[in-house]
Amino acid sequence: MNSTEWVLRHSELRKSKPKTLFNALRNAASRTTHPKAIEAETIHDLVDWMETYIGNRHIAAHGAFFWEPTGKLRVNYWHVDKSVTPNRRAIDETHITKELVSEVIDDADRILRSLWGALAQLGAVPAEQK
């Protein structure tokens, strides 16, 4: 795949629904024959994690964040309430704590290191410096 094809494919996937992207990642991991490729199991574990926590991504990307007069941070967000039929959209809110922020940063760091390591195996980026 040349760079133009890569950019076009990247744009197409970037605009995809998460489920489409997750399926594409799983399929790519299962089909790879490159000797330095990251193990399919690692990619599958990463996709499983992303599927589990996709709601957090949606809250971060689309939530409305507010500082309360008490100095606390909260976020309001819409979600699909599947407890009723037909499903309906409902608004919810949660408080953002330092512990939650630290956990999310640690998760993002783990994902970034995993992907950087995979790219380094392919020689696409320098190996991680510790």
Residue 129: pLDDT over 70: no
Q: Which residues touch 65 (CB under 8 Å, ≥6 apart)?
A: 73, 74, 75, 96
Residue 77 lies in a domain: yes
Is residue 71 situated within a structural domain? yes
Residue 42 lies in a domain: no
Cβ atoms 92, 79 nearer than 8 A: yes
Least confident of 3-7, 93-97, 124-128: 124-128
Q: Which of the 8 DSSP states describes residue 125?
A: S
Tokens (6 digits) for 46:
């990463």
Asked whether residue 86 is assigned to any structural domain, the reply reads yes
Number of domains in the chain: 1
Residue of 34 and 56 predicted with greater confidence: 56
Domain presence at residue 37: no
pLDDT (tens digit per residue) in 66-104: 999 998 999 999 888 888 888 788 888 989 988 888 888
Answer whether 0.85 is exceeded by the pTM: no
pLDDT band at 64 (very low <50, low <70, confident <90, very high): very high
DSSP H or E stretch at residue 25 = helix 18-31
Residue 10 lies in a domain: no
Residue 81 lies inside a defined structural domain of this protein: yes
